[in-house]
A and B are shown apart, each in its own frame.
Chain A
Amino acid sequence: MNINATLLGQAITFAIFVWFTMKYVWPPMMQAMQERQKRISDGLAAADRGARALNEAREESEKLLKEAREQAQEILSAANRQANEAVENAKTQAREEGERIVNSAKAEIQTEITRARDALKQEVGTLAIAGAAKILSREVDGKAHADIIDDLAGRIQ
């Protein structure tokens, strides 16, 4: 248990070992550990961010879906309205068209009637003249008395 030069030897060895640890062991270990720590914290932060983004995206998609549904509803009701209008228009048009056709038919009928009546008047006039001529036998000149015949024919209604 004597104190001797071993003490110095041990002190020198100690100094060298501490120097080595300080230079070649501690810094790389610490660096690796800090790097990992940073990586882990980054990873956790990224996971948080991801979760938040997912939530946002979900909300966004729900909003979009809702909007789309509303839009579809609008489009549908607009289309319905338009269809109703179209049907309504078509009905009106058809009715107008029908009326027009009926009117024109009526007008045609009227002219036909007038024409027939005119023709009939003419016929009756002629017949009357013929009758009168037969009665008066040659005394009546058809051409000379046309005005009278026309007057007669005009009276036949």
Chain B
Amino acid sequence: MASGAAPQTSSEYIAHHLTNLKLDLTTMQIDSHASGFWVLHVDSLFFSIVLGFLFLFFFRLAAKRATAGVPTGLQNFVELMVEFVDTQVKDTFSGKSNLVAPLALTIFVWVFLMNFMDLIPVDLLPYAATFVGVDYLKVVPTTDPNVTLGMSISVFLLVVFYSFKIKGAGGFAAEFFTHPFGWKLAPVNFILKMVEELAKPISLGLRLFGNLYAGELIFILIALLPFWAQWALGGPWAIFHILVITLQAFIFMMLTIVYLSMAHEHH
């Protein structure tokens, strides 16, 4: 159960599991107690990039080999995903864009893979990491708000970009000042719209983070039980979690499509 050398208390064990492997960019030192903005969570980025490459590798492989003939194996699976995402995009997104569908596909598969790290036994990778001298390791990138907010803010920037592009500065401003109460209450409209817009990336990022963080925490708590009792809670929770990780990836993707669809709409 323990990954450190010294015996741990439960709270130490949990705290240890919730601490990222940090790189202090100001000193370029690995320091898991570093604070401030210029700190990188090396473990989050490492796993997110590895999983992203995994996704890109297999999908690129399938895309390279894609034929119009009878699809087999990998191509079949990839086509299934592509078709699923494409259907969602076509159903929700009314405009024409080359970006939205690939974006949605990337989000869905990548977020799913990052969430999937949650199903790997909580101690396995951190324990393995101790052998290569890494003391702290958080293996689920989506339990790091930096990761989820990094994605949701990127989506938000895209939304802003497309709002400008489609509606023009005037249209975008009009949307801020005239809805929902008309010109007379422009400041109120502005404040309401501002809250509404800012709530998008924050809720998008924090929803994913919160779900996965809570799930991870429960896995950690289950890991505190005696080993012979863990399966009774860990099993059902893991099975339930298969649903959660898929659902959260799907929600993140769908909301991205919806937000971008709203950015493309004229009023």
Mark A residues whose CB is within 8 Å of B: 1-11, 13-15, 17-18, 20-22, 24-33, 35-36, 38-39
Contacts and interface: CB of A to CB of B under 8 A. Distances in A.
B68 A32 contact: yes
A30 B89 CA distance: 13
A29 B106 contact: no
A26 B150 contact: no
Contact of B39 (A2, A24, A38): A2
Contacts of B253: none
B110 A17 contact: yes
Given A17-B52, A25-B59, A32-B68, A3 B145 contact: yes
Contact of B68 (A2, A13, A18, A39): A39
24 contacts: A2-B35, A3-B37, A3-B149, A4-B40, A6-B146, A9-B146, A9-B150, A10-B44, A10-B48, A11-B150, A11-B153, A13-B45, A13-B49, A14-B151, A14-B154, A21-B106, A22-B98, A25-B63, A28-B66, A30-B86, A33-B79, A33-B83, A36-B68, A36-B69
B62 interface: yes
B203 to A, nearest CB: 16
Of the listed residues B20, B40, B63, the one surrounded by the most CB atoms of chain A closer than 10 A to its CB is B63
Contacts of B101: 26
Contacts of B137: none
Contacts of B106: 14, 17-18, 21
Of the listed residues A22, A32, A39, the one surrounded by the most CB atoms of chain B closer than 10 A to its CB is A32
B57 to A, nearest CB: 10
B4 to A, nearest CB: 21
Q: Bin chain B's interface residue count.
A: 35 or more
A91 to B, nearest CB: 79
User: Top 8 A-B pairs ranked by shortest CB distance?
Assistant: A10-B150, A32-B66, A35-B68, A6-B146, A22-B102, A26-B102, A28-B63, A6-B41
Interface of B: 20, 25, 35-41, 44-45, 48-49, 52, 55-56, 59-60, 62-64, 66-69, 71, 75, 78-79, 82-83, 86, 98-99, 101-103, 105-106, 110, 141, 144-147, 149-151, 153-154
Contacts of A14: 106, 150-151, 154
A4 B63 contact: no
A6 B146 CA distance: 6
Contact of A4 (B36, B48, B68, B102): B36
Contact of B146 (A3, A22, A31, A32): A3
Contacts of B39: 2, 4-6
Contact of B82 (A4, A18, A24, A29): A29
A26 to B, nearest CB: 4
Given A15-B154, A18-B106, A4 B78 contact: no
A54 B111 CA distance: 54
Of the listed residues A6, A22, A24, the one surrounded by the most CB atoms of chain B closer than 10 A to its CB is A6
A20 B83 contact: no
Contacts of A1: 145
A29 B86 CA distance: 11
A33 B75 CA distance: 10
